[in-house]
C-alpha cells in the first residue's frame, strides 16, 4: 500500500509544479535535436517527484527522462517522465502530464498518469484494473479498423524509413481513417484505455513515455505489443496499443500491409 501511496503523491507533486509554472516565463533548451526540448519546469517537477520517492525508498532504482538511470541494487524501479508532452507544455498547450511507472523484478506493477489541466488522474495496478479519477475504465468495442479513431506520434528520426511513420499515416488517412497526434504518448495510451481512441501506435518511444500507460491499457482490457506483435517491453522502441479487437488489422498496416 505504501508503494501506491508514494506513487500517487509523487505524481501529484510533479503535477503541482507543472500547474505553478504553466503559461509563465521559464527557460527552454534543446537536447538531442532542435525540437527535443527540456524546460526548467521538467527539472523542477523531477526534483519534486524524486524528493518523495527517495524519502520513502532511498535504495530503489530510478530511471527518469531528465536524469537518466540512478542505478541501485533493488527489486524496484521507478520509471519517470516529469512532463510528458514538453513541447505542448512549453507552448501553453494543456495536453501534457506526469507519468510514473513502478516496476518490480522486471514486471510493471503500477502506473499513474496525471494531467492537472484536465484534472484527469489515470491509475492501474496489475491485476486490479484501471481507473480514471477512481472510476473503472474500459477500452472501446469497435472491431473494424476502418471505423476506428486512432492516435499516433511522430519521432524526430527515421521518418522516411520503410513502413515508417509517414507511410503508415498516409495509408490510414487516405482510407479516411482519422488519426490524431496529441503530442503526449502517455495521454494517448490513457485515452485508448478509456475508449476515446481505439488504438495508438508509434515507431519510437522511450521507456518513460509508455511505462505507466501501457499497463493502464492492459488493465482496462486492451492489448499492447511491439510493432511486430511480440509481448510489449517498454525498453524497445515500437508500440501498438489497442482495444484488442482491431489490433491485428492495425499491426498488418504498420508492418507494410494495406488497409483492408
pLDDT grade for 158, boundaries at 50, 70 and 90 = low
pLDDT at site 193 = 99
Rg for the chain, CA atoms, rounded: 17
| Residue 157 scores a pLDDT above 80 | no
pLDDT at site 149 = 98
Distance of alpha carbon 161 from alpha carbon 12, whole angstroms: 39
Distance of alpha carbon 231 from alpha carbon 158, whole angstroms: 23
| Residue 248 scores a pLDDT above 70 | yes
Residues classed as catalytic: 65, 81, 83-84, 86, 209
pLDDT at site 162 = 79
More confident residue, 42 or 151: 151
107: buried, middle or exposed (CB in 10 Å: 19+, 13-18, 0-12)? exposed
> Tens digit of pLDDT for each residue in 83-124?
999 999 989 999 999 999 999 999 999 999 999 999 999 999
> Tens digit of pLDDT for each residue in 194-246?
999 999 999 999 999 999 999 999 999 999 999 999 999 999 999 999 999 99
Phi, psi of 48 (to 5 degrees): -65, -40
| Residue 167 scores a pLDDT above 70 | yes
Q: Which residue is listed with cell 522502441?
A: 237
Q: Is the pTM of this model over 0.75?
A: yes
Distance of alpha carbon 65 from alpha carbon 69, whole angstroms: 9
Domains of the chain: 2-136 (3.30.540.10), 145-254 (3.40.190.80)
Look at 16-20, 33-37, 207-211, 230-234 and tell me which has the smallest mean pLDDT. Answer: 33-37
| Residue 34 scores a pLDDT above 50 | no
Q: Degrees (nearest 5) of the Cα angle 66, 68, 74?
A: 135
Residues 22-29, mean pLDDT to the nearest whole number: 73
Q: Mean pLDDT in the chain?
A: 93
pLDDT at site 33 = 52
Amino acid at each position: 500500500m505504501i508503494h501506491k501511496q508514494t506513487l500517487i503523491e509523487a505524481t501529484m507533486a510533479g503535477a503541482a509544479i507543472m500547474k505553478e509554472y504553466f503559461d509563465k516565463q521559464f527557460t527552454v533548451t534543446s537536447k538531442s535535436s532542435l525540437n527535443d526540448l527540456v524546460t526548467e519546469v521538467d527539472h523542477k517537477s523531477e526534483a519534486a517527484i524524486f524528493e518523495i520517492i527517495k524519502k520513502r525508498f532511498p535504495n530503489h532504482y530510478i530511471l527518469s527522462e531528465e536524469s537518466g538511470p540512478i542505478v541501485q541494487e533493488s527489486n524496484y524501479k521507478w520509471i519517470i517522465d516529469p512532463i510528458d508532452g514538453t513541447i505542448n507544455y512549453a507552448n501553453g498547450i494543456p495536453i501534457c502530464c506526469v507519468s510514473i511507472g513502478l516496476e518490480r523484478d522486471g514486471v510493471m506493477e503500477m502506473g499513474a498518469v496525471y494531467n492537472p489541466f484536465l484534472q484527469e488522474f489515470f491509475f492501474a495496478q496489475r491485476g486490479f484494473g484501471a481507473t480514471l479519477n477512481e472510476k473503472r475504465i474500459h477500452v472501446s468495442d469497435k472491431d473494424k479498423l476502418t471505423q476506428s479513431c486512432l492516435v499516433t506520434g511522430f519521432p524526430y528520426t527515421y521518418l522516411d524509413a520503410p513502413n515508417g511513420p509517414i507511410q503508415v499515416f498516409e495509408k490510414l488517412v487516405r482510407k479516411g481513417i482519422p488519426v490524431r497526434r496529441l503530442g503526449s504518448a502517455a495521454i494517448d495510451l490513457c485515452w485508448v484505455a478509456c475508449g476515446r481512441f481505439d488504438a495508438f501506435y508509434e515507431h519510437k518511444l522511450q521507456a518513460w513515455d509508455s511505462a505507466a500507460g501501457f499497463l493502464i491499457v492492459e488493465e482496462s482490457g486492451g492489448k499492447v505489443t511491439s510493432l511486430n506483435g511480440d509481448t510489449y517491453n517498454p525498453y524497445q522502441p515500437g508500440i501498438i496499443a489497442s482495444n484488442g479487437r482491431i489490433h491485428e488489422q492495425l499491426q498488418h498496416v504498420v508492418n507494410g500491409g494495406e488497409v483492408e
